[in-house]
Amino acid sequence: MANHILEMRGITKTFPGVKALQDVTLEVTRGTCHAICGENGAGKSTLMKVLSGVYPAGSYDGDIVLENEVVKFSSIRDSEKSGVVIIHQELALSPFLSIAENIFLGNEISKGGFIDWNATNVEAAKLLARVGLSDNPATKIADIGVGKQQLVEIAKALSKEVKLLILDEPTAALNDEDSAHLLDLIKHLKGQGITSIIISHKLNEIKAIADAVTIIRDGKTIETLDLERDSISEERIIKGMVGRDLQSRYPDRTPDIGEEILRIEDWTVHHPQEHSRVIVDHANLNVRAARSSASPASWARAAPSSR
């Protein structure tokens, strides 16, 4: 019998006029990386919001069994007490607080009724080291890139003694280098016994780190593939996601490029409160009729930069 850390049985979630999830089943083995795939709107994020208490017990039908016990989470804080931590695609960090403040926000280390800043920074440094960061814990979140911000979120999860880590599209905003580092970290955490659930559209990443893949389509579980016994190919995953074989993933198209209708050159935008910080750095953009294009090298990174 598999050693399941999580079982979700018959999960059904309905919004006004829409059945977002219908009798969904998910089983996750302890100490593995379990991927969830599906098209946009398939119900992946909704399922994880049910699991993490964003949608509280009573707002859905079905059972969640965590470590062989039925749980009914009333909030995110409730699920975190049981070791279930979700990191959303839109990171929940406060940009003008320090790394250490963000890690322990809501769970401050105190002494005599006051925050113990020395202990906070010491413990934050230990957690940062676990995710491969050597940054000063006093550094503001706004002063580090989005790749490091993602790692701070994981350090924050570690501070809560996470057992089951949920990552929703964790590499969507990352470059190749940051993505590779994050995937290596997920593997490292697996070696420490931490189970992870990852939602991703990047099938090459799923093949690289997932032990199992559950495919969801139109709010229903289609199948779960196990790396040890099944062939997890991109073609099989895509067929499960869309419900048919694709003859061509990239159909031929004849571009229809019209005349230029807008041009922006050397566009720089400063932060409204901190004028020394640049949030758009010498960007160039040209838009032609029927399409838009931009030189990737001309854009500032997604995270605000500073000069």
57 CB-contact burial (10 Å; exposed 0-12 / middle 13-18 / buried 19+) = middle
More confident residue, 152 or 300: 152
3-class DSSP assignment, residue 244: coil
**303 confidence band (pLDDT: 50, 70, 90):** very low
pLDDT at residue 63, as a whole number: 98
pLDDT at residue 232, as a whole number: 73
186 CB-contact burial (10 Å; exposed 0-12 / middle 13-18 / buried 19+) = buried
Name the least confident of 105-119, 134-148, 253-267, 293-307.
293-307
At the second CATH level, the architecture of 4-242 is: 3-Layer(aba) Sandwich (3.40)
Question: Does the pLDDT of residue 307 top 50, yes or no?
Answer: no
Nearest to 9 by CA among 165, 157, 221: 221
The CA distances from residue 107 to 15, 100, 159, in Å, are 33, 11, 9
Does the pTM exceed 0.85?
no
**If you average pLDDT over every residue of the chain, what do you get?**
89
**DSSP alpha helices (H): ranges in the chain?**
44-52, 76-81, 99-103, 117-130, 146-159, 176-191, 203-209, 234-242
Share of residues in the chain with pLDDT > 90 (%): 68
Q: Determine the Cα–Cα distance for residues 46 and 26; give it in Å rounded to an integer.
A: 13
- What single letter denotes the amino acid at residue 246? L
Kindly list the domain boundaries of the chain, sorted by start residue. Answer: 4-242, 260-306
DSSP state of 187: H
Q: Determine the Cα–Cα distance for residues 140 and 97; give it in Å rounded to an integer.
A: 5
Q: Determine the Cα–Cα distance for residues 298 and 59; give it in Å rounded to an integer.
A: 46
Q: Determine the Cα–Cα distance for residues 208 and 115; give it in Å rounded to an integer.
A: 42
90 CB-contact burial (10 Å; exposed 0-12 / middle 13-18 / buried 19+) = exposed
Q: Are strands 84-87 and 164-168 parallel, antiparallel or unpaired?
A: parallel
